[in-house]
Structure 1
Amino acid sequence: MSQKRHYSASDIKVLEGLEPVRLRPGMYIGSTSSKGLHHLVYEVVDNSIDEALAGVANTIEVIIYEDGSISVRDNGSGIPVEKHPQTGRSTLETVLTILHAGGKFNNDAYKVSGGLHGVGVSVVNALSEWLIATVHRDGYEFTQEFSRGNVVTELQKGKKVSDTGTEIKFKPDFEIFETLDFEKEILITRFREMAFLNKGIKITLEDKRDNTKVEFHYEGGIKSFVEYLNRNKNPLHSDVIYIEGEREGSYVEIALQYTDSYSENVLSFANNIHTSEGGTHLVGFRTALTRTINDYGRKYNLIKEKDDNLQGEDAREGLTAIISIKLSEPQFEGQTKAKLGNSESRGVVESALGEGLSTFLEENPKVAKIIIDKAQSSARAREAARKARDLTRKRSILDNTPLPGKLADCIETDIGINEIFIVEGDSAGGSAKGGRDSNFQAILPLRGKILNVEKARLDRALSSDEIKNMITAFGTGIGSEFNIDNLRYGKIIIMTDADVDGAHIRTLLLTFFFRYMRELIEKGHIYIAQPPLYGILKGTKVVRYCYDEKELEKSLDELGRGSNLKVQRYKGLGEMNAEQLWATTMDPDNRILLKVTLDQDEMVEIDETFNILMGDKVEPRREFIEENAVYAKNIDA
């Protein structure tokens, strides 16, 4: 019989100061990957942005240094340096070494703040190999140094200065992070967004590693943001509609413009934080937009009495919009702040947009008619899509063949186990069917390239047999009827040839999933197979498969180049027999699968990339290809 363990006070470990941050960094910055590394910079920059929101700063300078450190400097009021009444230490040391210490908890200091938990700069200090804080305030320069959250030097009073501001320079801790390499493009995306959301503020990013410098400064604010998002699209009206309002201590800005595209791109922000899951402010926006457009259409008989009201999805087709609300007490759902919960925000946005958009439509009847014509066209397409779905459903019931004829289904129905391969052509489909494990692997061959849905509404997409076959096979439905609970396969694997045509088909499929079945990507169900590009043969037998040229060269060196080896280049999956395809690309024990994911912080860039690659405009696509050609390899080699 085991002896009962004695549990006493000595078993209780008390973490002091910033120890909890170093012990569980993921709780504070999400992860210790590249994402968490860049989050450190955002925390410091957010503090400077708060200074700008308080009206005491208009410039933020960020510098990446060759040793891997980074600095953020603003021309705000400077972190106070006098002794703090609660801690007995300087205020600077207090905010850098104590969690939940900061001016954001005092509404008299910061009426609006992006920070919710007040842990930002202290967390940065805890997770840095070293940090140096420099403050210009009260006519002097003050500095203090820290290491891994601990005080290294006391507060030093230095030279006289005439300006004010704060500089935080730090080097992330190699003991904490998986990578210490700051990616300039990630920071550029974030800083551009911050400059758009805070008109008039100037943010510069200098990179000492390659001696480059970029500047972001937009007097137009979120109007400029919408213009930027639509720069590769075709706007239906020249001017961006801009509305602002203030109520119950909250300030809201809305900018919107319609384009000839068929998808919507509506981004919502609360206190400069991108609320990727929306929230009350987005609900208010959608409600007011649909109601206002319907009211105007009815008033001027643009929507006939016999016609139904336009639905929300009709009113938002082709819409690019930014909703930015700033409030003193934001209530976010969860640590990630992805969804705004303040109930009053719905009314604030709904009121501002309703009044502002009504006035705009009255004063701009030509634009109003363009918007309503666009929405009515969407409504007709929506109704056509509904009839197409109903017809397909009825035929399936009558024919008693609900699954596509070309689908080679699997036995297993548990989506925790089963998977479906989407392959191009009958040849590859034949090899895949012959090589698969039919217990859990289904095969759906496509005939050629599917419809480019970036240039087509849902009703036209549903006229494509290939798209209908996929929808039926997956079981989820599409559009307003999409239900991920009905998904029939846990993994949907795109398996195309490793050539230009294969890459094009893969992009067409990803565009379809992104535009019409995005939840499949968000829930981690979409994968890309990685068939080998080369086979090294000795006689007629393949002795090794290689997935890129680097691996090929290494393998040839290892096997001995002068030993009667031949290299076979696989341009198509059909060139492999069933056994080879199974061994290299379909066998779970040996294959390489790439999981398709969506980073909500990069949704603007993802949306833009699909629009450039698959949209109507040729020039942006040509520029994209030229800029990224250096990263392409093994294309039709």
Structure 2
Amino acid sequence: MANENNGRHYTANEIQVLTGLEPVRKRPGMYIGSTGPKGLHHLVYEVVDNSIDEALAGICDTIKVTVFEDNSIAVEDNGSGIPVEVHPQTGKSTVETVLTILHAGGKFNNSAYKVSGGLHGVGVSVVNALSEWLVAKVRRDGKEYMQKFERGVPVTELEIIGESNTTGTTISFKPDGEIFEVLEYNLETLEYRFREMAFLNKGIKILLEDKRKNVSKKFHYEGGIKSFVEYVNKNKTSIQKQVMYFEAEKDGTTVELAMQYTDGYSENIFTFANNINTQEGGTHLSGLKTALTRTINEYGRKYNYLKEKDENLQGDDVREGLTAILSVKLKEPQFEGQTKGKLGNSETRSIVESLTYDFLSNFLEENPKDGKIILEKAINSQRARNAARKARELTRRKSILDNTTLPGKLADCQESDLSITEIFIVEGDSAGGSAKQGRDKKFQAILPLKGKIMNVEKARIDRILGYEEIKAMITAFGTGIGEEFNIEKLRYGKIIIMTDADVDGAHIRTLLLTFFYRYMKDLIDNGHIYIAQPPLYKVGKGRASYYAYSDKQLDDILKEIGRTNYTIQRYKGLGEMNPEQLWETTMEPENRILLKVSIEDAVAADEIFTTLMGDKVGPRRSFIQTNAKFVKNLDI
């Protein structure tokens, strides 16, 4: 993907200036999403994205990211280096222009980059504005240049500091403590992101070094997204020996697709546009789904897997057990919103659909064994779906209105306004009884579950919908499930998992989260799922009571009240609390602690659920051995 300058140089004339930098420090969330951990890590991604853009243009193949002991960051690449000459519009060096003016960057000019991820061009200038300090070093034209900034303001001129026989850019920065709520980088979060980038850009090397932990990682995959699919499926059982793969270009858009079927029941399709993870899908995903359904139905008819009287396979049928990575690269991507979560280019749908249809049709003709495996799995899914139809109908919201007996011992609330209504999913009748007595029945509903729900990771939809506790939840929520899921029918703004603070409670939480992630993911994506945090300890001294939600908080309380003449009660079950205590500590909106469930990385989430809840024992054993040292409050 070399640019029109043969991928070797771009100049100051190709850097276009659109506006100033002033708003960034006032409203950082508009540019990086938040000032919490997500925004903090976004700073690194913005700098690395610039290096990836050069890799897409064929002028960079190695990127090194270093995390230092003080949580400052250095990103070094072997690209062409930011231009250093005076910019014609600003009268400043191009380095200073790119780092101090919003929307100044080569990616706004098609002669510099043909394909770019960070099309908004806010990247490095925003990082500069939100950093306590930033140092830019550029190796270019046989020289090494350096310029220093503080909170986006230059404190030195661009100066030559030596000779260089290489080219590239190094951006070092420290996030500003006046802006960010947290300043500590999470190594695992960075690993997930850089592994993904390396998969999407086959051949590129991304090196990650953490000086805090003396850890070094290398991400380099010559197989690209084929290796990505193999990675996602490593703890699953594939029913195809090979990963189906193609890369093709049409009308200036490059489409790359890798996919493989497993014996599982959930689909995992991850889509990207210009290396940006489009978690909300978009036109490229629509094109892929349409092509899959059309091709597999045509193949099934042609070879008599589907008889004349048989109904067509639906999308859910042909995608059951499928893992797919779809990556498109296009000149002018249109994303919905600054978060770039959904691709909107209308022409991309037909391009992806056409190329995928051609590829898959040829693949099935040339690989009849795979064709048989895929059709048989899809037909089995269709049978299960038809068997589940009756059960699904029983879970529709209208069943609540039609039946005088509410499902699953549901104690409903009086209000219907989603901005205030909430339902607590509670473990067992004892805790359910306390919750029902302690709640505010105006806006709080209680649904006790008997024991642990089934592990949906190992079951098809027909078995899942035959399970009474799951049917009770679906009926109570009102949304339906699967192809009939409709989030607009949701009856509660918050769905709160409230379980005991012990091993059984943790297992029930995991089972419920697996169900929500696999079958009601929109509830998570739209911020409706929460986990209640009941206290771990009650400290009594005289007539006073204090509640501690962590060991550190317990220690702080003991220091405050003095370490004599006190009692400590360790709560293991919600049923140990009377209704007033449960309300005061865990349910009362002013005092309680709720954790909102969110998915930062869908690939990582899939990996965790597959590892913990899947069929293979080995990966689960390895996970436990690796993480055992981090366990606190072990219940034995």
**TM-score where L is the length of structure 2:** 0.93
1:102 corresponds to 2:105: yes
- The residue number in structure 1 matching 2:232 is 229
Q: Is the 8 A contact 1:498 1:635 kept in 2?
A: no
Aligned partners of 1:295 and 1:26: how far apart in 2? 48
Structure 1 residues 457 and 341: CA distance shift in structure 2, 3 A: same
Aligned partners of 2:92 and 2:553: how far apart in 1? 58
Structure 1 residues 134 and 545: CA distance shift in structure 2, 3 A: closer
- The residue number in structure 2 matching 1:206 is 209
Deviates more, 1:196-205 or 1:354-363: 354-363
- The residue number in structure 1 matching 2:595 is 594
Q: How does 1:200-599 map to 2 (within 5 A)?
A: 200-390=203-393, 396=399, 400-401=403-404, 403-404=406-407, 406-537=409-540, 543-563=545-565, 565-599=566-600
1:628 corresponds to 2:630: no
Q: How does 1:167-206 map to 2 (within 5 A)?
A: 167-206=170-209
Structure 1 residues 137 and 553: CA distance shift in structure 2, 3 A: closer
The alignment partner of 1:253 has SS state of: strand
- Output one character per residue of 1:232-275: Cα deviation in whole Å (capped at 9) or x when no partner: 11111121110111111111100001111111110111111111
The alignment partner of 1:263 has SS state of: coil
Deviates more, 1:89-98 or 1:259-268: 89-98
Task: Report deviation, 1:566.
Answer: 3.1
- Output one character per residue of 1:463-505: Cα deviation in whole Å (capped at 9) or x when no partner: 1111111111222221122222222222222221111111111
Work out which of the two has the higher radius of gyration on C-alpha atoms and give 1 or 2. 1
Structure 1 residues 529 and 58: CA distance shift in structure 2, 3 A: same
- The residue number in structure 2 matching 1:12 is none
Aligned partners of 1:394 and 1:584: how far apart in 2? 32
Aligned partners of 2:429 and 2:225: how far apart in 1? 50
- The residue number in structure 2 matching 1:57 is 60
Task: Report deviation, 1:37.
Answer: 1.8
- The residue number in structure 2 matching 1:609 is 608
Task: Report deviation, 1:347.
Answer: 1.9
Q: Is the 8 A contact 1:403 1:472 kept in 2?
A: no
Aligned partners of 1:334 and 1:16: how far apart in 2? 19
The alignment partner of 1:387 has SS state of: helix
Amino acid at match of 1:319: L
Q: Is the 8 A contact 1:126 1:148 kept in 2?
A: yes
Q: Between the two proteins, what is the percent identity of the paired residues? A: 71
The alignment partner of 2:279 has SS state of: coil
Structure 1 residues 577 and 269: CA distance shift in structure 2, 3 A: same
Gaps of 5+ in 2: 1-17
Cα RMSD of the aligned pairs, angstroms, is 2.2
Deviates more, 1:242-251 or 1:486-495: 486-495
Structure 1 residues 546 and 162: CA distance shift in structure 2, 3 A: closer
**TM-score where L is the length of structure 1:** 0.92
The alignment partner of 1:470 has SS state of: helix
Q: How does 1:44-193 map to 2 (within 5 A)?
A: 44-193=47-196
Aligned partners of 2:395 and 2:129: how far apart in 1? 59
Structure 1 residues 58 and 421: CA distance shift in structure 2, 3 A: same
Task: Report deviation, 1:402.
Answer: 6.0
Aligned partners of 2:371 and 2:544: how far apart in 1? 66
- The residue number in structure 1 matching 2:8 is none
- Output one character per residue of 1:305-349: Cα deviation in whole Å (capped at 9) or x when no partner: 211111111111111111111111111121111111112211221
Amino acid at match of 1:100: H
Task: Report deviation, 1:195.
Answer: 0.5
Structure 1 residues 340 and 418: CA distance shift in structure 2, 3 A: closer
Task: Report deviation, 1:614.
Answer: 1.1
Structure 1 residues 431 and 351: CA distance shift in structure 2, 3 A: same
Task: Report deviation, 1:416.
Answer: 2.8
The alignment partner of 2:409 has SS state of: coil
Structure 1 residues 438 and 133: CA distance shift in structure 2, 3 A: closer
Task: Report deviation, 1:418.
Answer: 2.9
Aligned partners of 2:60 and 2:310: how far apart in 1? 53
Amino acid at match of 1:632: V
Amino acid at match of 2:546: R
Deviates more, 1:220-229 or 1:454-463: 454-463
Aligned partners of 2:78 and 2:194: how far apart in 1? 17
Amino acid at match of 2:571: Y
- Output one character per residue of 1:395-445: Cα deviation in whole Å (capped at 9) or x when no partner: 959974362262222333333333222222222222222333333332221
Q: Is the 8 A contact 2:414 2:441 kept in 1?
A: yes
The alignment partner of 1:195 has SS state of: helix
Task: Report deviation, 1:54.
Answer: 0.7
Deviates more, 1:516-525 or 1:323-332: 516-525
Structure 1 residues 573 and 33: CA distance shift in structure 2, 3 A: closer
Q: Is the 8 A contact 1:548 1:634 kept in 2?
A: no
Structure 1 residues 542 and 510: CA distance shift in structure 2, 3 A: farther
Task: Report deviation, 1:618.
Answer: 1.1
The alignment partner of 1:571 has SS state of: coil
Aligned partners of 2:213 and 2:400: how far apart in 1? 64
Task: Report deviation, 1:231.
Answer: 0.7
Task: Report deviation, 1:122.
Answer: 1.7
Gaps of 5+ in 1: 1-14
Aligned partners of 2:511 and 2:196: how far apart in 1? 28
Amino acid at match of 2:632: K
The alignment partner of 1:236 has SS state of: coil
Amino acid at match of 2:365: E
- Output one character per residue of 1:256-303: Cα deviation in whole Å (capped at 9) or x when no partner: 011111111101111111111111111111111111111111111112
Q: Is the 8 A contact 1:243 1:352 kept in 2?
A: no
Structure 1 residues 511 and 151: CA distance shift in structure 2, 3 A: same
Amino acid at match of 2:606: D
Task: Report deviation, 1:531.
Answer: 2.1
- The residue number in structure 2 matching 1:22 is 25
- The residue number in structure 1 matching 2:13 is none
Q: Is the 8 A contact 2:235 2:619 kept in 1?
A: yes
Deviates more, 1:583-592 or 1:90-99: 583-592
Structure 1 residues 482 and 402: CA distance shift in structure 2, 3 A: farther
Structure 1 residues 335 and 557: CA distance shift in structure 2, 3 A: closer
The alignment partner of 1:512 has SS state of: helix
- Output one character per residue of 1:591-634: Cα deviation in whole Å (capped at 9) or x when no partner: 322222233xx111112111111111111112212222233222
Q: Is the 8 A contact 2:269 2:325 kept in 1?
A: yes
- Output one character per residue of 1:176-211: Cα deviation in whole Å (capped at 9) or x when no partner: 222222222211111111100000000101122222
Aligned partners of 1:502 and 1:361: how far apart in 2? 46
Q: Is the 8 A contact 1:425 1:446 kept in 2?
A: yes
Amino acid at match of 1:549: D
Aligned partners of 2:397 and 2:493: how far apart in 1? 27
Task: Report deviation, 1:375.
Answer: 0.8
